Amino acid sequence: MPLHLVDLPRLCAGVADLHDRYDRADPFPHVVLDDVLTAEGFQTAIAEFPAIGDPSWKGYLHVNETKYANPDMRTWSPGLQAIAAEFLSAEFCEFLTELTGIDKLMPDPSMDGGGLHQTLRGGHLNIHADFTTHRAHHDWARRVNIVLYLNDDWRDGWGGELELWDVRMTARRARVQPRGNRMLVFTTSADSFHGHPDPLSCPDGVARRSMALYYFTRERNPVRRSTNYRARPGDGLKRLAIWTDRRVLDLYDRARRRMGWSDEWANKTLERVSKLRGKRR
């Protein structure tokens, strides 16, 4: 299939300079790329992105995050499937290898932890380092994360900037504005802390929209870590809630891996808890 929705030729032409920027970035290897999709590709993504109330969205609604996701490519529109297929292609994986210096990167068509994401007014994602192994392939280590923002018009005052924090969680080192057709690429590690922890202030009916994919290498004995949510220095009493929620999610993740559970039950339970919490306020 010819690549035509992702502007890969332009990205590849500058990959040597991008690699240097990626390697030197603070606080961990990353790079921000603008105009990743062609004009046609970006307009396709904007036009076909699922509506806020689409039944395909699954809620992740708990202390450490309030967002919605759809990792099932089979439910996506043809245009979004075509864009994802280009990100899953051997050609794009080769570009990522040259960009990051990580050999033998493998894409993940199952979108474990990735897919389409939306966050609504008041939503947030606490600072965290991502889980480190694939839930179905236990010898797959997560190595690279890409986040492509698909916002048609995102205003500065709405928040939602992705914050990148240092290893000790003492200071924010960088922020990435989620402007449309901008992609963040970064190395997934035990201490690549990132998130947008402050509630969004966008209008009702507007969502912070993105597509996220992860890339893996096959390892003999990769270290399994669940998502490691962390408090910021000024979070005060929120620290206990963040830590407790993290522990509960870790226990659920261990049980799910052992028992082969799907996300359906957890998502429905979290949505009920969130609704009850909202009624009590």
Whether 147 maps to a domain, the answer reads yes
Residue pLDDT, tens place only, 247-269:
887 776 666 656 665 555 555 55
Task: With cut-offs at 50, 70 and 90, classify the pLDDT of residue 181.
Answer: very high
CA 40, 45, 46, 47: dihedral to nearest 10 degrees?
Answer: 80
Task: Return the higher-pLDDT residue of 93 and 248.
Answer: 93
Report the pLDDT averaged over residues 19-35: 98
Whether 124 maps to a domain, the answer reads yes
Q: How much is the pLDDT for 274?
A: 45
Task: Return the higher-pLDDT residue of 98 and 257.
Answer: 98
d(CA 12, CA 91): 10
Range of the domain at 52: 8-280
Report the pLDDT averaged over residues 42-66: 96
Strands of the chain (E only): list them: 30-34, 58-62, 65-70, 115-119, 125-129, 140-149, 162-165, 172-176, 182-187, 193-196, 208-218, 228-229
**Token code pair at residue 121:** 């007014």
Sequence letter at residue 45: A
CB burial string 99-122: b at 16+ within 10 A, e below = bbebeebebbeebbbbbbbbbbbe
Whether 93 maps to a domain, the answer reads yes
In the predicted model, is pLDDT for residue 272 greater than 90? no
Task: Return the higher-pLDDT residue of 186 and 246.
Answer: 186
**Token code pair at residue 136:** 């179905």
The contacts of residue 206 (CB under 8 Å, 6+ apart) are 120, 121, 158
Whether 33 maps to a domain, the answer reads yes
The contacts of residue 2 (CB under 8 Å, 6+ apart) are none
Q: How much is the pLDDT for 271?
A: 52
d(CA 165, CA 193): 5
Averaged pLDDT of the chain: 91
Domain count, the chain: 1
Task: With cut-offs at 50, 70 and 90, classify the pLDDT of residue 1.
Answer: very low
Q: How much is the pLDDT for 4?
A: 84
d(CA 121, CA 78): 28
In the predicted model, is pLDDT for residue 123 greater than 60? yes
Whether 3 maps to a domain, the answer reads no
CATH number of the domain enclosing 246: 2.60.120.620
Q: How much is the pLDDT for 246?
A: 87
Task: With cut-offs at 50, 70 and 90, classify the pLDDT of residue 279.
Answer: very low
Task: With cut-offs at 50, 70 and 90, classify the pLDDT of residue 277.
Answer: very low
* 112 SS3 class: coil
Whether 2 maps to a domain, the answer reads no
Whether 163 maps to a domain, the answer reads yes
Task: With cut-offs at 50, 70 and 90, classify the pLDDT of residue 276.
Answer: very low
Q: What percent of the chain has pLDDT over 70?
A: 88
Cis peptide before 27 (omega within 30 of 0): yes
Give the residue among 87, 80, 150, 79 at the shortest CA–CA distance from 119. Answer: 150
Which range, of 7-16, 63-72, 237-246, 251-260, averages the lowest pLDDT?
251-260
What's the maximum distance between 2 C-alpha atoms anywhere in the chain?
Answer: 55
Whether 77 maps to a domain, the answer reads yes
Report the pLDDT averaged over residues 210-236: 95
DSSP secondary-structure letter at 64? T
In the predicted model, is pLDDT for residue 3 greater than 50? yes
Residue pLDDT, tens place only, 207-218:
999 999 999 999
**Token code pair at residue 33:** 């790329």
